[in-house]
Amino acid sequence: MSMLIRIGRRAVASLFLTARTGAALTAALALGASACATVAGEHEVEAKFLVKPTSQSTFSGWSEVSITQDPNSVDGAELRFIRLEARDNNVPDLTFIKSITAEAVVDGVATVVAKKAPMPAGERIVPLDRAYHGDIRKFFYEDAENDGYTVHVDWHGEVDLTRTIPPEGVWMRVIVAIRVE
């Protein structure tokens, strides 16, 4: 199974999906389209982004994953949860992020899939509030350029500039769980 992972960078954050993410999405969403064994159930994928201080109080980025198999080869795929974790152990909590939103974008139409505001004090691992509860296969669009199907996610939010953020920024880890039927 082949895949392509692309990253985008705007403002103060860059987001990218790891190879583990693409492999998990390829396996989870391309189930009957290859010789791979059927993998029904819950699967986790991982992404990360950098929140870096600037004079602006916003951050944004985007990510894309392309898979070669048609995501409609499975009966369904549902978003179970998305959670943020500070990768730096010196970060006591995520309150330096005032808000965050994740939007899946297809044909210029954005659908909010998760968001959170404000971040709870004292928590280094924070689940986002899931805003989309339907089948996520619809967010994969046919992508001839990458010879497969791609999902595009825009991430944006606001940073609390009154909080201390290291000059090199803070790497955030995003864990996404999906259920494949």
Q: Share the mean pLDDT of the chain.
A: 77
Kindly report each contact of residues 137-145 with a partner whose C-beta sits within 8 Å and lies 24 or more positions away, as own/partner.
137/29, 137/71, 137/72, 137/74, 137/76, 137/77, 138/106, 139/104, 139/106, 139/111, 139/113, 140/29, 140/67, 140/71, 141/106, 141/107, 143/66
Secondary-structure class of domain 3-180 per CATH: mainly beta
Is 42 a residue whose pLDDT tops 90? no
SS (H, E, C) 81-109: EEEEEECCCCCCCCCCEEEEEEEEEECCE
Is pLDDT above 50 for 27? no
Q: What is the pLDDT of residues 138-168, one digit of tens each?
A: 998 998 888 888 878 888 899 998 988 888 8
- pTM score, whole prediction: 0.77
More confident residue, 43 or 162: 162
How far apart are the C-alpha atoms of 76 and 28, rounded to whole Å? 10
Per-residue model confidence as pLDDT tens digits over 67-94: 677 888 889 989 899 999 988 888 899 9
Both structure tokens of 126: 């924070």
